[in-house]
Amino acid sequence: MSVLAPTLQRLYERVPRGVLLGLERVRAAAERLGGVHELGRYVHIAGTNGKGSTAAFVATMAERAGLRVGLYSSPHLCRLAERVQIDGRALADDALADALSRVMDLPDELTFFEVVTLAALVAFRDAKVELPVLEVGLGGRLDATNVVDGEAVTAITRIAFDHTDRLGNSLAAIAAEKAGILRAGRPVVVGRLHPDARAVVAAKAEELGAPLIDADGERETRLVDSHPPSLGGAFQRHNALVAATVARELGLPPARVAEGLTSTRWPGRCEIIETAEGYVLFDCAHNPDGALALKNAMLGLSNNVARRQVGLVFGAMADKGWRAMLDRLAQVTGPRIYVEPAGRQAVPVEELAAYLDGMKARSVPEALISMRQKVGRNGILVVTGSIFLVGAARAFLLGMTCDPPVAL
């Protein structure tokens, strides 16, 4: 048994507590840990889609500039340790076990996500991290990551419909939740936002005296265009522009920003790998906005590979807009096979097939093997619909051992 295994077992016992938005519990626990939430400079990134990729870009840029960087993201693709990275490496098992245990030993009734968030801050403090880069988990205003304070540079990448049961049924309402990460007098970088969402963010920024900066500056545009981002998909240019603008606000040298643009790695995001059996494209698109971005990214691919050889391996969570996702992906893919990913309640394969005709698989390996037989060695598999599906499929094809997936 690994040094981390008993600690993870103890952590996963908190999964039934689910998501409890609010900062009171996590703030009290942070204070018990010696004010671990009180930071110097930090970056905090919210958004419906693109926040993880943008955080990865910023972290790599800062590393290239010589800073000791901590990156906190969620959920994990394969191993929980992926959520807590220092200088581009997942936290070592012993350090992660220690940080998690110190948080779980507190008397506070914390959720799974609150424990991991505080453990990341503990690990960053122990490692003397100079720049924490934090990806919001859900929303922003009441997300556990919003317990932090200091000299923030915040960013909001995109705002679309997702988690409407918790964040609201309008773009304005969702924007208000995400704008909760803004800090008085500290800059906020915004990507291309719908006018309704941008108006809300702008009003919050004005209220706090926070400079509002659009990610379309001439210098950053030239920089991104002359140093194409290493992450695949046309939509990554938008994320790269947000990251480069954040880097400017941090005072990072343009040359180091350029290095970060071309060297960032973020698995499972429009990632193409070649296996012995053929090519596979992984993308964690898990809502209609993400599916649209993936469809646009695949248009060039569809022109080079016969559509009948682009096989879709799809599974989604029941609370997502999976019908709209399938409608968009059907325009650039051929045969379909459905599978139910782990993580939380998935859409039954029978329901998926009833909406849009496709094969049904009992497991992720069966889905991958069956679709490969269908499209052949020269075809490409597109695996998408849920981060949990992407994580399981990627682990199977690369021979990796994973921690249990969890939608927290």
pLDDT of residue 308: 75
pLDDT range class, residue 75, cuts 50, 70, 90:
very high
pLDDT at 1 over 90: no
Per residue in 141-182, pLDDT tens?
999 999 999 999 999 999 887 666 667 779 999 999 999 999
pLDDT at 59 over 70: yes
pLDDT of residue 164: 63
Per residue in 89-116, pLDDT tens?
999 999 999 999 999 999 989 999 999 9
The b-or-e profile of 294-304 (16+ CB within 10 A means b, else e) is: bbebbeebbee
pLDDT of residue 322: 96
SS3 readout for 42-62:
EEEEECCCCHHHHHHHHHHHH
pLDDT at 307 over 80: no
Entry pTM: 0.92
Indicate the fold that domain 5-263 takes in CATH: UDP-N-acetylmuramoyl-L-alanine:D-glutamate ligase (3.40.1190)
Residues 6+ apart with CB under 8 A from 27: 37, 147
Does residue 325 or residue 306 have the better pLDDT?
Answer: 325
Q: State mean pLDDT over 7-16.
A: 95
Q: For residue 276, count CB atoms less than 10 angstroms from its CB and return exposed for 0-12, middle for 13-18, buried for 19 or more.
A: exposed
CB 359 within 8 A of CB 349: no
pLDDT at 118 over 60: yes
pLDDT of residue 298: 87
- Tell me the two tokens of residue 289: 């906005």
pLDDT of residue 165: 67
Per residue in 271-302, pLDDT tens?
999 999 999 999 999 889 889 989 988 886 65
How far is residue 4's CA from residue 390's CA, in Å, rounded to a whole number?
Answer: 24
Per residue in 372-399, pLDDT tens?
999 999 999 999 999 999 999 999 999 9
pLDDT at 305 over 80: no
Q: State mean pLDDT over 304-324.
A: 88
Q: State mean pLDDT over 25-44.
A: 97
| In the chain, where the domains are located | 5-263, 271-398
Per residue in 245-276, pLDDT tens?
999 999 999 999 999 999 999 999 999 999 99
pLDDT of residue 302: 54
pLDDT of residue 169: 77
Give CA torsion, residues 221, 223, 226, 230, to 10 deg: -100
pLDDT of residue 301: 63
- H-run or E-run covering 279: strand 278-282
Q: State mean pLDDT over 118-136.
A: 98
pLDDT of residue 114: 98
Q: Distance between alpha carbon 311 and the CA centroid of its chain, in Å?
A: 24
pLDDT of residue 168: 77
Looking at residue 214, its amino acid is: D
Mean pLDDT of the chain: 93
pLDDT at 401 over 70: yes
Per residue in 39-50, pLDDT tens?
999 999 999 889
Q: State mean pLDDT over 293-318.
A: 82
pLDDT of residue 110: 97
pLDDT of residue 300: 64
Q: CATH classification of 271-398 is 3.90.650.10, yes or no?
A: no
